[in-house]
Amino acid sequence: MAAAAAAIPDVRRWSKASGGPSSPVTATAVFLFLFVVVVGVLVSGRWITTTTNLADTNLDRWRTNPVGDPKFLTATHSTSTPATPDVLPPPLPTYSLSCSAPPLAGEPDIPSNISQTLSLALSSNATCASISETQLVPPTTAANSSCPAYFRFIHEDLHPWRAAGGITRTMLDRARTTANFRLVILHGRAYIERIAPAFQTRDLFTIWGILQLLRRYPGRIPDLDLMFDCVDWPVVHADEYQGENATILPPLFRYCGNNETLDIVFPDWSFWGWAKINIKPWDALQKDLDAGNRKVRWIDREPYAYWKGNPEVAAIRQELVECNVSSEQEWNARIYKQDWVKESKAGYKKSDLASQCTHRYKIYIEGSAWSVSEKYILACDSMTLVINLKYYDFFSRALMPTQHYWPVRDESKCSSIKYAVDWGNSHKEKVCYAARNDLNCFFFCMS
């Protein structure tokens, strides 16, 4: 029972609904698989055909075809050896990320322990000498075919395009306006066109997650073409694409959405690591969180609500700082400002996520939009106090108040936090159950 203590909500909190527990990595991978399959079906229904010959899967041909020209994906061509031009054109920022190639020579800016495929992504001239076609494998019906509750939002997010009859090339072109990269999957191979720089390494680790999807489900990912925006804020406003404008609705992927937008949500890059601030990939981090949860019994944890983060990114966070304990007021909150510049110089010694599961309550508050900290906060065996959710990621729409978290009023944050903590400390068994979603958790919390 305790081994699942640090699992993300899509595993621990919904294991009963999904037919049994599974690892967070498995749940995320299955989500990606189903999402990509559904997108592939929508896209292929309009403008991708299966007549593409293997000769067209090399990058040189893909580079020479503009995004608005569908001939590359629809035309059949014979195999031929092109003549070598006298002057080679400068390489474009387009990479094949799933090549079979010999190990790369030492690269001073690439860590020695990084994988060969990721090294190819970082290399400026990575290409495939030859590609063998991967046959699409039909899915098999598993013994347990039920899915977590949040999987239904895959279909909900894609409904506007299904209602419009599918995704057209015109729609895809409009999504290019704010996209950071374009992803093409063809015969099980991934091709990337970098359109605009992304913040830090968001695009790189998102691509890395897609590559792991291709490896996990070989031959099962349909051909597709999509645009991805790595910025936090959703931009596809629903009120701008009503009536006739529905035919130009851009299918744009990003990490979060809200009730006023139609951006398609996708698991965020930090599931595969956030090297810039020393956060491990989820499969490694969950082991640390398990160990951190075991160090202090829930009943022995600090009886306060804990939050640590950067308050400068949003006014709502600056208001939260006012709820910190002072000589004049006790709001039952312990608020800590995170200085990332200082932490980076100190080696992130005070930013270990596994050491932050020491309070009975943890606060989640959005920043300028949704925050990646949500899953780390929920992974602690503490009651999560959530302040005024405006944005959602791929799993959070299935979270239920009082079952998975305690809602906090935005207009009265401090008093609302104090009430939640006072009530929880007086009803420990109920809070422990809500924190772990486990009927036997009171024994774990108290023993």
The region, left, alpha or beta by phi > 0 then psi within -120 to 50, assigned to residue 404 is alpha
User: What is the C-alpha to C-alpha distance for residues 193 and 182, in angstroms, rounded to an integer?
Assistant: 5
Confidence of residue 15 (pLDDT cuts 50, 70, 90): very low
Give the pLDDT confidence of 61-88 residue by residue, as tens digits.
Answer: 434 444 444 343 333 333 333 444 455 5
The string of pLDDT tens digits covering residues 170-205 is: 999 999 999 999 999 999 899 999 999 999 889 999
CA–CA dist 378, 177 (Å, integer): 34
Instruction: Enter the pTM of the model.
Output: 0.70
Confidence (pLDDT) at 353: 86
Instruction: For residues 418-426, give the mean pLDDT.
Output: 95
Which of these, 253, 218, 250, 256, lies nearest to 368 by C-alpha position?
A: 256
For 32, counting Cβ atoms within 10 Å of its Cβ (0-12 exposed, 13-18 middle, 19+ buried), the class is buried
Overall CATH class of domain 296-446: alpha beta
User: How would you class 169 by CB atoms within 10 Å of its CB: exposed for 0-12, middle for 13-18, buried for 19 or more?
Assistant: middle
CATH 3.40.50 in the chain is located at 296-446
What are the tens digits of pLDDT across the range 323-354? 999 988 999 999 999 887 787 777 777 778 88
Coil, strand, or helix at residue 89? coil
Whole-number pLDDT of residue 42: 58
pLDDT at position 402, please? 84
- d(CA 60, CA 263) in angstroms, rounded, equals 31
pLDDT at 11: 32
Task: Tell me the angle at which helices 428-436 and 413-426 cross, rounded to the nearest 10 degrees.
Answer: 110
